[in-house]
Amino acid sequence: MNIMILVGSADVKSHSLGLGKAIEEKLKELGAETTLINLVEYGLPLYNRSIERENSHDDITRRFLDTSLEMDAFVWVTPIYHNSYSAMLKNALDWHHSTKFPGKVLGLASNGGNRSPQAVDQLMLVARSQHMLVSTTRVCTDESDYDSDLNLSDEDMKIRVKNFADELLTLTNKVLSEN
Ligand SMILES: Cc1cc2nc3c(=O)[nH]c(=O)nc-3n(C[C@H](O)[C@H](O)[C@H](O)COP(=O)(O)O)c2cc1C
């Protein structure tokens, strides 16, 4: 099973990246293959509909779309920016407009705003537009859940990450077994 983890912080080293790595580690422990993309380092250009229409993507975007198409499930991790998810993540999801992922399973996670679920709640609407199946357990952290190296350190949050990973894989296995 292949799972893509998209991290949408505009910081190269971020809490969101720490959260994405904690989720990745748990998914791997449970037997999944993962591709973690720290979008701020990946270099996707700004979404451009003409390029999409003409199918004239640059190599980075082509690779992103080709890799995305190999996935069985996705995880979107975002910082809270202005009571919402980040533009960096949304830009990547806009590139997914040409592919969409109907029936694919999605897990949602965020960091910021006193563990606010604002961003993940809003991402559920984005997921619906891509016809994805959203796993119900989400992980919403804030800065106090990390150590000084930005690794997830809060014990309760680690349990939540485990539950999140368990549910994501259970749901994905069910979907795969029916297709
Ligand atoms: C552009 C921007 C907007 C932000 N807006 C909010 C906000 O609306 N509410 C909030 O609680 N924190 C806000 N923050 C603070 C971030 O949520 C906080 O710095 C978070 O830890 C960033 O996560 P990261 O380390 O994964 O990038 C904002 C930060 C930035 C850079």
Tens of pLDDT along the chain (179 residues) come to 999 999 999 999 999 999 999 999 999 999 999 999 999 999 999 999 999 999 999 999 999 999 999 999 999 999 999 999 999 999 999 999 999 899 999 999 999 999 999 999 999 999 999 999 999 999 999 999 999 999 999 999 999 999 999 999 999 999 999 98
13 Cβ inside 6 Å of ligand 1: no
What whole-number distance in Å separates Cα of residue 23 and Cα of residue 102?
Answer: 23
> So where are the chain's domains?
2-178
pTM equals: 0.98
Q: Give, for ligand 1, the residue of 80, 115, 144 to mutate: max count of ligand atoms closer than 8 Å to Cβ.
A: 80
Ligand 1 atom closest to Cα of residue 79: 23
112 Cβ inside 6 Å of ligand 1: yes
12 Cβ inside 6 Å of ligand 1: no
What is the CATH T-level fold of the domain 2-178, as seen in this structure?
Answer: Rossmann fold (3.40.50)
